[in-house]
Chain A
Amino acid sequence: MAAVRRLGRLVPLGAAAIAIVAIVAAGGCAASGATSPSAPATTGEVVPAVHRGPQGDGGQFVVKCGYSHSATDDPIVHPGMAGMSHRHDFFGNTATSSTSTAASLLGGDTTCNLRLDTAAYWAPSLIDHGTPVTPLGAVIYYRPAPGVDPSTLTPYPTGLMMLSGEPTATTPEPVEIAGWACGTSSDLRSQPPVCDPASPLQVRITFPDCWDGEHLDSPDHRAHLTRTQDGRCPASHPVVLPQLTVTIRYPISGAGHELELASGSTFGAHADFLNAWDEHELAEQVELCLHRSAVCSVASNRGQAAPIG
């Protein structure tokens, strides 16, 4: 559609404008649901039910976090071993490093608009033609997964470590866990699509929402968690958590990119979360917004280009 392409190219706002474009991840995704047969072979994880359609129906709170820094550190997979990891982009807590723990992060500074969200979020750097791409920022959603009774949600324990997505994947993984999209589109792909400048590339990672109630981490960093199926957690992981969705936006649009992740193939999109929210604040957000099914914030995409007289 020629008009559309022209419209996109003419938008001069560029990175500065896009930088504050809040992304809606309300879309969610491919047709497969919680019982999809296309479960990932590599992880054995359940494919999550994810939100689709516009925001504003159920309870949620949203945190917008700027890009903080990058380092070859990973406090979950390589704790205390600086420089041992592939390169990561960090969001949220500004002091995250290989030695970070909840105790070291709590009370620190953050790039997030909710100043008491001092948790650490990170993902492998996106590489274009061999050069790391500086992300525009991250929008982070806390919601009950579809079908979950919101009154049963428990806040993440301080220090909980979560990893979602399969870093070593070289073939398609379920896009409900880790998918690429243009802007806020619900059309998730296992590989980065070519995007219009008005809807630049983002990656969307949805985390597990059932916890075993005992372990903040596990040897494979996954076994202490799983995902709800049909709105329920299994007996092995009985504690129902909010479904955390992290979207990271990149200033990437148009053709001609040669994209990979610092961890390898773009099939291997993943992200990590180390909970160091202020405990009282997180409990309050979960109770007020999720238990009460209140729309405490929305990440609108009212920033996107619109032809206005």
Chain B
Amino acid sequence: MTATTMMATTATAPASGEVAAPSGGVMRGTQPMHVRPRGARGATWALVALALVTLAGACSSETTSSSGGTTATTAVVSGRTIKVPADQPTVQKAVDAAQSGDLILISPGVYKEGVNVTTDNLTIRGVDRNTTILDGEFTQENGIRVLNANGVAIENLTARNYTGNGFFWTGVTGYRGSYLTTSRTGNYGIYAFDAYKGQFDHSYASGSPDAGFYIGECYRCDAVITDVISEYNGLGYSGTNSGGDLYIVNSTFRRNRAGIVPNSGSYEQCYPERETTIAGNLVYSNNQGDTPAIDVALLAMGNGILVAGGRDNLITHNRVFDHERTGIGLVPFPETDAVDNIPPESEMKTPCEETKKKPPTDKSQVKNPVYWPPLNNRVVDNVVEGSGMADLAVGAIDDGTIPASGNCFAGNTAGSTAPADLAAMLPCEGTGNGADPHNGALDLLALMASARPAKGDYKTQPEPPAQPNMPDASTAPARPAVDVPMKIDLSTITTPAAPAS
């Protein structure tokens, strides 16, 4: 909510803070703000809360009964629906008028807006995913941005042509993006940063120079990405310094520069990337040389699943094929200008909120460059084929360190590996065979130095094809993101079949 919109809206509301409820009764706005305190700003909250009290129910809204849903969602669902444009002319005005637990239902149309959400537990939904479109016209930064508001779910919408991101949650606990489509976004498609307990499902993202899907700076994240499609991005998935109950499952990453690329780095908080599970995905043909791209995407091009300096990840039951370089690769991520060193082993389980409180490391103590190594990653039961250099690979600045990296390979159906005989060198059970790690190792420095196709323009990437709608979009009750993420049972995840063609 902005100062301007706050004033504009309060001007139309009764000064008493009491407004006529749809039933004809009087509704008093008393919804508290459920925000995660992040510092001394009580005065601001008081102001915002006051404004919300004034705004409560200021819209004309239609009451619908909420039925179904979990106990958790039922507890916060208000039963109120605000329709756009029938009740409020824009999505932002509907959001500004909404209270915790409301459903905002958007009719088909092109809405040229960038929407900010600061109210908890809203459900923002399009009536038709393919024709309910937020369009930033390459002037707005974000389609919908959720800032420190918990439990906000966004469903069945398209966001396109934003200079930043399609859908973005930050500083929240509880978030969900379902049946979303994004295209032609200057940064990320569907994006969570410093966000916990979330889920992205049944969504599609294309045309980002960075990642179509991104979950970063969280530990333990407690988040799930499932049943999504990511294509024509610099990276299909990326997540810097995220992990801990973080699942990327049953999804398709194809025709990006590179497929699934989590990484570590001290340039953002909560390093390193760790404990991400990548399972049951279809990952293919991530060699797309005409996508937009950040530099990491240029360098990562031609790899299916590439862990760049991450650790303790599980990569299992993925089908990975047709990559110019590696199918599944574990490589270091170097920082030439790091602001911190790699944390000690004893801090690997420390929550992000705790590590953030540590004072910055004195610059004289940082040993640049910092090479974030891939450690203790388990690559098991994947089917990998058609890789130009190696189906399975571990890279290191010093190849001799590979046997002690703790990474392991078992049960994979794969051809060539780098170094050679990788499964025998790094088994998940027992000790390795002592094979020479220099034999057939990737020459990372040479790979880095090779020319890659120039960056494409995110503004001219392909229009996405029509995507499936969520069931009963017009009639389903509000479902704020208080029951997420869904539970993932790894025992039920199998290697997906190859696509028909």
Listed in ascending order, the chain A residues whose CB lies under 8 Å from chain B are 1, 3-4, 6-8, 10-13, 16-17, 20-21, 24, 26-27, 29-31, 52-59, 113-116, 149-152, 181-187, 196, 198-199, 280, 283-284, 287-289, 291-298, 300-309
Identify which of B122-130, B139-147, B375-383 touches chain A: B139-147
Given contacts A293-B41, A302-B263, A305-B299, contact A182 B337 (CB under 8 A): yes
- Are A307 and B447 in contact, with the CB atoms below 8 A? yes
Q: List 27 A-B contacts (CB under 8 A).
A: A1-B369, A3-B397, A7-B334, A13-B295, A21-B295, A27-B337, A53-B361, A54-B267, A54-B268, A56-B194, A150-B39, A185-B337, A187-B364, A284-B116, A288-B116, A292-B35, A293-B148, A294-B148, A302-B240, A303-B296, A305-B295, A305-B334, A306-B263, A307-B395, A309-B326, A309-B395, A309-B418
Which residue of chain A has its CB nearest to the CB of B292? A20
Closest 3 CB pairs of A and B: A53-B360, A303-B295, A151-B41
**CA distance in complex: A283, B442 (Å):** 51
**Residues on A with beta carbons closer than 8 Å to the beta carbon of B63:** none
**CA distance in complex: A7, B332 (Å):** 13
Instruction: Choose one: A20, A116, A300; the contact of B240 (CB below 8 Å).
Output: A300
- Are B39 and A293 in contact, with the CB atoms below 8 A? yes
**CA distance in complex: A21, B325 (Å):** 24
**Residues on A with beta carbons closer than 8 Å to the beta carbon of B268:** 54-56, 298, 300
- Are B336 and A284 in contact, with the CB atoms below 8 A? no
- Contacts A20-B455, A295-B193, A303-B294 aside, 16 further interface pairs with beta carbons under 8 A come to A11-B449, A53-B361, A56-B194, A56-B217, A113-B141, A113-B186, A151-B45, A183-B337, A198-B337, A287-B1, A300-B267, A302-B210, A305-B295, A307-B331, A307-B395, A308-B306
Instruction: Choose one: A13, A150, A289; the contact of B298 (CB below 8 Å).
Output: A13
- Are B171 and A295 in contact, with the CB atoms below 8 A? yes
Instruction: Choose one: A294, A297, A309; the contact of B393 (CB below 8 Å).
Output: A309
**Residues on A with beta carbons closer than 8 Å to the beta carbon of B362:** 31
**Residues on B with beta carbons closer than 8 Å to the beta carbon of A294:** 147-148, 170-171
**Residues on A with beta carbons closer than 8 Å to the beta carbon of B44:** 151, 287, 291-292
Which residue of chain A has its CB nearest to the CB of B442? A309
Which residue of chain A has its CB nearest to the CB of B209? A20
**CA distance in complex: A308, B302 (Å):** 10
Say yes or no for B250: interface residue by CB 8 A criterion: no
- Are A306 and B333 in contact, with the CB atoms below 8 A? yes
**Residues on B with beta carbons closer than 8 Å to the beta carbon of A114:** 141, 163
**CA distance in complex: A58, B360 (Å):** 13
- Are B295 and A288 in contact, with the CB atoms below 8 A? no
- Are B296 and A302 in contact, with the CB atoms below 8 A? yes
**CA distance in complex: A3, B325 (Å):** 23
Which residue of chain A has its CB nearest to the CB of B295? A303
Which residue of chain B has its CB nearest to the CB of A31? B362
Give the number of A-B contacts (CB < 8 Å): 239
**CA distance in complex: A168, B64 (Å):** 69
- Are A56 and B270 in contact, with the CB atoms below 8 A? yes
Given contacts A54-B340, A55-B268, A291-B41, contact A306 B171 (CB under 8 A): no
**CA distance in complex: A17, B448 (Å):** 12
- Are B3 and A283 in contact, with the CB atoms below 8 A? yes
A141 vs chain B, min Cβ distance (A) = 13
**CA distance in complex: A258, B251 (Å):** 53
- Are A186 and B360 in contact, with the CB atoms below 8 A? yes
A48 vs chain B, min Cβ distance (A) = 16
A-facing residues in B276-312 (Cβ within 8 Å) = 294-296, 298-300, 303, 306, 308
A189 vs chain B, min Cβ distance (A) = 11
- Are A57 and B294 in contact, with the CB atoms below 8 A? no
**Residues on A with beta carbons closer than 8 Å to the beta carbon of B139:** 115-116
**CA distance in complex: A29, B397 (Å):** 29
- Are A26 and B366 in contact, with the CB atoms below 8 A? no
- Are B2 and A306 in contact, with the CB atoms below 8 A? no
Listed in ascending order, the chain B residues whose CB lies under 8 Å from chain A are 1-4, 35, 38-45, 116, 118, 139-141, 145, 147-148, 163-164, 170-171, 186-187, 193-194, 210, 217, 238, 240, 258, 263, 265-271, 294-296, 298-300, 303, 306, 308, 325-326, 329, 331-337, 339-340, 356, 359-364, 366, 368-369, 389-390, 393, 395, 397, 418, 442, 444-451, 454-455
Instruction: Choose one: A151, A184, A287; the contact of B267 (CB below 8 Å).
Output: A184
A3 vs chain B, min Cβ distance (A) = 6
Given contacts A17-B298, A196-B336, A297-B164, contact A280 B2 (CB under 8 A): yes
**CA distance in complex: A116, B42 (Å):** 29
**Residues on A with beta carbons closer than 8 Å to the beta carbon of B300:** 306, 308
- Are B163 and A115 in contact, with the CB atoms below 8 A? yes
Given contacts A58-B39, A292-B41, A306-B334, contact A186 B339 (CB under 8 A): yes
A295 vs chain B, min Cβ distance (A) = 5
**Residues on B with beta carbons closer than 8 Å to the beta carbon of A295:** 170-171, 193-194, 217
Which residue of chain A has its CB nearest to the CB of B323? A309
**Residues on B with beta carbons closer than 8 Å to the beta carbon of A292:** 35, 38, 41, 44, 118, 147-148, 171
Most buried by B among A3, A114, A292, A301: A292
**CA distance in complex: A54, B118 (Å):** 25
- Are B148 and A57 in contact, with the CB atoms below 8 A? no
**Residues on A with beta carbons closer than 8 Å to the beta carbon of B366:** 186
**CA distance in complex: A20, B146 (Å):** 27
- Are A293 and B38 in contact, with the CB atoms below 8 A? yes
Instruction: Choose one: B145, B337, B364, B445; the contact of A6 (CB below 8 Å).
Output: B445
**Residues on B with beta carbons closer than 8 Å to the beta carbon of A26:** 267, 339
- Are A149 and B337 in contact, with the CB atoms below 8 A? no
Instruction: Choose one: A55, A58, A185, A308; the contact of B331 (CB below 8 Å).
Output: A308
Which residue of chain A has its CB nearest to the CB of B39? A293
- Are A308 and B447 in contact, with the CB atoms below 8 A? yes
Which residue of chain B has its CB nearest to the CB of A149? B40
**CA distance in complex: A133, B193 (Å):** 36
- Are B306 and A183 in contact, with the CB atoms below 8 A? no
Instruction: Choose one: A8, A27, A187, A309; the contact of B444 (CB below 8 Å).
Output: A309
**CA distance in complex: A301, B116 (Å):** 26
**Residues on B with beta carbons closer than 8 Å to the beta carbon of A57:** 269, 356
**Residues on B with beta carbons closer than 8 Å to the beta carbon of A58:** 38-39
- Are A309 and B331 in contact, with the CB atoms below 8 A? yes
- Are B186 and A288 in contact, with the CB atoms below 8 A? no
- Are B339 and A150 in contact, with the CB atoms below 8 A? no
**CA distance in complex: A296, B172 (Å):** 12
- Are A151 and B295 in contact, with the CB atoms below 8 A? no
- Are B170 and A199 in contact, with the CB atoms below 8 A? no
**Residues on A with beta carbons closer than 8 Å to the beta carbon of B41:** 149-151, 291-293
